[in-house]
């Protein structure tokens, strides 16, 4: 069985080495990413199997559930393997199933959110903590400054940011070292290519969310055609493309299915040739 080790490694902040293919824990929560799943034992099994398959980077957020995703991770995996990195986020809140995700970047909220994540994850410090999304009602520097204070207090090890443009990334880096950026990015949606290029220049990890954009789902399209050629799934092709697109790319495909988990991890061994890469590159927008 292929393992995540086939994806190669990346040293986050130059010191925390992980296999480049990780796992996103958002989909482990209930319908509409709300509450706990109907089958908690399956969620636990998916997390344990991910670790068995060499995944050593798990991504979550306090808003997934809310809180349920972090709780599931601790229930399934604590005490954690020594090499397991858990990244979580603060800065979004939930109003209910199917509702909005209001932003809250106030320093006092972020500090409270971090304390809650530490408690739920049963950690003394969080290896990577993200500002989930900029809050237009709070100066971005104040939000990032709160994460710097948490780092200085030893509650988080490395600061990360999500959903940023070049301007906000520059503001964040002017305040604190940024270990990872998480932005929407896929084979068909590369609007964040300028941010990715800056991450490459700075040795910053880049985590793509929504790795299979709707534009890649056309059963008669090039992604599906390349997948058939490799006897693979479109998701596997999308993940393989991401891994070959940049050495700082750290995909975190999420699923609540053991079968899909194993398919996603197997994508680490899929190699696309130059012609296939050129075809997929032409899909960019």
Which value, to the nearest 10 degrees, does the dihedral of the CA atoms of residues 197, 199, 202, 205 take?
-140
Distances (CA, A) of 3 to 45, 133, 171: 17, 32, 37
Distances (CA, A) of 184 to 109, 121, 265: 25, 26, 20
122 prior amide bond cis, ω within 30: no
Q: Which of 64, 129, 130, 140 is catalytic?
A: 64
Would you call 80 a catalytic residue per the annotation? Answer: no
Check: CB of residue 175 under 8 Å from CB of residue 143.
Answer: no
Residue holding tokens 């603060």? 90
Spell out the residues 6+ positions from residue 174 whose beta carbon is closer than 8 angstroms to its own: none
Burial class (CB in 10 A: 0-12, 13-18, 19+), 43: buried
- Catalytic amino acids? 64
């Amino acid at each position: 069985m292929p393992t995540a080790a086939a994806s190669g490694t990346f040293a986050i902040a130059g010191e925390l080495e992980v296999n480049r293919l990780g796992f996103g824990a958002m989909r482990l929560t209930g319908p509409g990413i709300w509450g706990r799943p109907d089958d908690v034992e399956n969620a636990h099994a998916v997390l344990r199997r991910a670790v068995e398959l060499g995944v050593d980077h798990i991504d979550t957020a306090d808003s997934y559930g809310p809180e349920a995703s972090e709780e599931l991770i601790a229930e399934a995996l604590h005490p954690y393997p020594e090499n397991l990195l858990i990244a979580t986020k603060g800065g979004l809140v939930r109003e209910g199933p199917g509702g909005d995700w209001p932003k809250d970047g106030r320093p006092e909220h972020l500090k409270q959110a971090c304390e809650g994540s530490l408690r739920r994850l049963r950690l003394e410090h969080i290896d990577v903590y993200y500002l989930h999304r900029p809050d237009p009602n709070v100066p971005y520097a104040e939000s990032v400054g709160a994460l710097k204070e948490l780092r200085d207090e030893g509650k988080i090890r490395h600061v990360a940011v999500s959903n940023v443009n070049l301007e906000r990334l520059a503001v964040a880096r002017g305040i604190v070292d940024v270990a990872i950026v998480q932005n929407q990015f896929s084979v068909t949606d590369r609007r964040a290519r300028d941010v990715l290029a800056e991450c490459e220049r700075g040795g910053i990890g880049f985590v793509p969310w929504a790795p299979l954009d709707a534009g890649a789902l056309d059963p008669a399209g090039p992604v599906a055609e390349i997948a058939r050629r490799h006897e693979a799934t479109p998701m596997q092709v999308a993940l393989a493309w991401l891994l070959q697109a940049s050495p700082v790319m750290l995909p975190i495909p999420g699923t609540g299915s053991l079968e899909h988990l194993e398919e996603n991890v197997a994508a680490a061994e899929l190699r696309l040739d130059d012609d296939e890469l050129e075809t997929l590159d032409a899909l960019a927008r």
